[in-house]
Amino acid sequence: MKTGPGRMKRCGAFAALALVPFCVQSVDAQTPPGDPKDTEQWEPVPPVVTPGAHPGAPPSDAIVLFDGRNLEQWVNTKDHAPAAWKVAHGVMTVVKSVGNIETKRLFKNYQLHLEWQVPKGITGEGQARGNSGLFLASTAPGDGGYEVQILDSFNNKTYVNGQAASIYKQSPPLVNAMRPPGEWQTYDVVWTAPVFEPDGTLKTSAYVTVFHNGVLVQNHFQLTGETLYIGQPKYRPYDRAAIKLQAHGDPSAPISFRNIWVRELN
């Protein structure tokens, strides 16, 4: 009987051929019973949305809140007169004597894009350095509502649940993604509004996800109520609310905004 390398090669080939039917049978045996079409969904067909022409540009279904030309989508919070912040060179700048401004429209759940800039050469420290706020739902005059903090947090120490991209006094950002003063910052936010029972009691909490300069800093955070400067958070019933921008009273130079748009979510 030949036991040289040639015979071993042929035996190996025959063995491999013999395994082919077995392998096919093994795969077939693992296929689950039933029709794959049973788990295919065909309707309703998602609507078509055309993305923005470049990163940060509004998609086709967005409501543009500020495109650099005017403040017709905004009013002063204190008296609902036409918003009186300064608009020049495609940006709007806080006028602290005017106070906060807010959108004319009211919103519930949404996706928001906003760009903001701390002026180069800003002075001050801690909370007195480029302080402002993005209120996701303005539920009362003044600073009532749910705030994502705006602040110069580039080499500027303060309490961590009050630095940029924090949910004010509730949740520090996962990381500090701040660019230096003079550069534009971006916030991309997904806001899920709280839901209340007919008697005003809380049914489901508010949730927020925030990206700061493209970096995840709040990951579906569950709020425990409105953000308060003093005291513990608590919920106040509301249905729809304006989006508000804060004119903080600190003595530092005012910050600016541009390219603000929102997409309502069902």
Which structure tokens are listed for 237?
Answer: 């019933």
Predicted local distance difference test score (pLDDT) of residue 249: 86
Q: Exposure string (b/e) for 77-100, b if CB count within 10 Å is 16 or more? A: beeeeebebebeeebbbbebebbb
pLDDT at residue 143, as a whole number? 80
**pLDDT in the model for residue 142:** 76
pLDDT recorded at residue 27: 52
Tell me the per-residue pLDDT of 95-148, one tens digit each, with 9 for 90 and over: 999 999 999 999 999 999 999 999 999 999 999 999 999 999 999 877 889 999
What CATH number does the domain containing 155 carry? Answer: 2.60.120.560
* pLDDT of 17: 45
Using the predicted structure, report yes or no on whether residue 260 has a pLDDT greater than 80.
yes
Residue 12's pLDDT is: 47
What is the count of structural domains for the chain? 1
- CB 16: neighbour CB atoms within 10 A? 9
The answer, yes or no, to whether the previous bond of 194 is cis (omega within 30 of 0) is no
Confidence label for 23 from pLDDT (cuts 50, 70 and 90): very low
CA distance 253 to 258: 17
Q: Is residue 8 part of a domain?
A: no
Per-residue pLDDT, 239? 95
> Average per-residue pLDDT in the chain?
91
In a domain, 34, yes or no: no
- Of the pLDDT bands very low, low, confident and very high (cuts 50, 70, 90), residue 32 is confident
Q: What is the mean pLDDT of residues 68-86?
A: 97
- Among the listed ranges 3-7, 47-51, 162-166, 178-182, which one has the minimum average pLDDT value? 3-7
Q: What is the pLDDT of residues 228-244, one digit of tens each?
A: 999 999 999 999 999 99
Residue 82, in any domain of the structure: yes
The two most distant CA atoms of the chain are separated, in Å, by 105
Residue 10 lies in a domain: no
Q: How far apart are CA 8 and CA 27, in angstroms?
A: 29
Nearest-Å Rg of the Cα atoms of the chain is 28
Percent of the chain with pLDDT over 90: 84
Range of 124's domain? 63-264
- Positive or negative torsion for Cα 252, 254, 256, 261: positive
By percentage, how much of the chain surpasses pLDDT 70? Answer: 89
Q: What is the pLDDT of residues 181-198, one digit of tens each?
A: 999 999 999 999 999 999
The verdict on residue 13 lying in a domain is no
What pLDDT shows up at residue 8? 46
pTM for this prediction: 0.86
Alpha helices in the chain (DSSP H): 5-30
